[in-house]
Amino acid sequence: MIHSKIIGTGSYLPKKILTNHDLELMVDTTDDWIRSRTGIVQRHIAADGEMASDMALNASREAMDASGIKAGEIDLIIVATTTPDMIFPSTACILQNKLGIKGSAAFDMQAVCSGFIYALTTADMFIRSGKYRTALVVGTEIYSRLLDWNDRSTCVLFGDGAGAVLMTQSNQPGILSSHLRADGSQHKVLSATGSSCGGKVQGNPFLTMEGSVVFKFAVKVLTEIAHETVIGSNLQMSDIDWLIPHQANIRIIQSTAKKLDIPMEKVITTVDKHGNTSAASIPLALDIAVRDGRIKQDQHILLESVGAGFTWGATLVRW
Ligand code: ACO
């Protein structure tokens, strides 16, 4: 039986750091408000001209180095992003070109903050079916360009960055199980409604959200999907060595961990340093925990996310 396994991780953060104190000079906010409501202390901001594909390339190169996989061996590229370089072609195709390869399948995945879980699940399916052997799965986001920097209720929450994993066929299961869900009836709660028509942006080009609705929904579905995924794999929550949740807000993370009875010592958090990097947040956090040695062979890692749509999902990995 063919399984899929993550064999290398990588990440990239733009050089520019924007602290809460910097934001105090831009909008009517305080470091204390942002820290206490979200856990965020700073976030990275892409340079002018830096594109989602550039950040994806840097993260991908790290994942390739870590796995020993050469670009020419990749036969599937999936890029999870809500902030693509352009309307089309896909950021995945642009990344493929920057990697100096052609011929592999390449497409973008649009599931907002759940994009990486959706992309990982899709790559797992392709690999397990035998269709592709080696997949590059990337989350890359430049939310700084989707934000109204005069709106204190949203501009303090997000950051830019990219994370990547390389997956390949394996005799032993690496991805144990994945579950994806969506509820489109809630699509207005968190959205960027702008669209292009007649050469002009129509609608609001900035992200808007009903923060408290997102908060409550996130804790509910993240708890449910974690149970569904772990129990569906015949494991107990106590078997989980690391929880890597989407990094939107430390209070969402803490509330979910508490409901799951997972101590915070087993939760990887990067929201303080990165803010919410949407589809990039899980692969970024994963890469950091792999590189600092917290994640070890044979451990069980639960990845889970919720995002606009709403979309949500979880993936259970044996490392
Ligand atoms: N600085 C100071 N005050 C602020 C700020 C700010 N940056 N932003 C809002 N406020 C004010 C509001 O205007 C409001 O003032 P008022 O009472 O005078 O009207 C007050 O703070 C309270 O606002 P609330 O929205 O009730 O604050 P809350 O405690 O709910 O926290 C937050 C807001 C942090 C957005 C929270 O609802 C949240 O985290 N929601 C989850 C949303 C999220 O994480 N979204 C990310 C994308 S979705 C995803 O990735 C899953």
Could you identify the atom of ligand 1 that is nearest to the CA of residue 305?
A: 51
Residue 40 Cα to ligand 1 middle (Å): 12
pLDDT value of residue 313? 98
Can 3-171 and 176-318 be said to share one CATH topology? Answer: yes
Residue nearest to atom 46 of ligand 1 (CA): 248
pLDDT score for 94: 98
Predicted confidence at residue 200, as pLDDT, reads 87
DSSP 34-71: HHHHH---EEEEPPTT--HHHHHHHHHHHHHHHHT--G
Domain range 176-318, CATH architecture: 3-Layer(aba) Sandwich (3.40)
pLDDT of residue 139: 98
pLDDT in tens, 175-190: 999 999 999 999 999 9
State the CATH class of domain 3-171: alpha beta
* pLDDT on residue 197: 87
Q: What is the dihedral of CA 230, 235, 241, 245, to 10 degrees?
A: 0
Question: Could you tell me the residue ranges of all domains in the chain?
Answer: 3-171, 176-318
Write the pLDDT tens digit of every residue in 53-110: 999 999 999 999 999 999 999 999 999 999 999 999 999 999 999 999 999 999 999 9
CB neighbourhood size of 203 (10 A): 12
pLDDT for residue 158: 97
Q: What is the 3-state secondary structure of 292-316?
A: CCCCCCCCEEEEEEEECCCEEEEEE
Pocket of ligand 1 (CB under 6 A): 29, 33-34, 37-38, 113, 152-153, 156-157, 190, 209, 211-212, 214-215, 218, 246, 248-249, 276, 306-307
Of ligand 1's atoms, which has the minimum distance to the CA of residue 215? 41
Low-confidence ranges of the chain (pLDDT < 70): none
pLDDT for residue 199? 86
- What number of residues does the chain have? 319
- Position 196 scores a pLDDT of 86
Given this model, what pLDDT does residue 105 score? 98
Q: With b meaning 16 or more CB within 10 Å and e meaning fewer, what string describes 22-35?
A: ebbeeeebebeebe
Residues 6+ apart with CB under 8 A from 25: none
User: Could you tell which of 189, 249, 310 is best to mutate to test the pocket of ligand 1, judged by most ligand atoms within 8 Å of the CB?
Assistant: 249
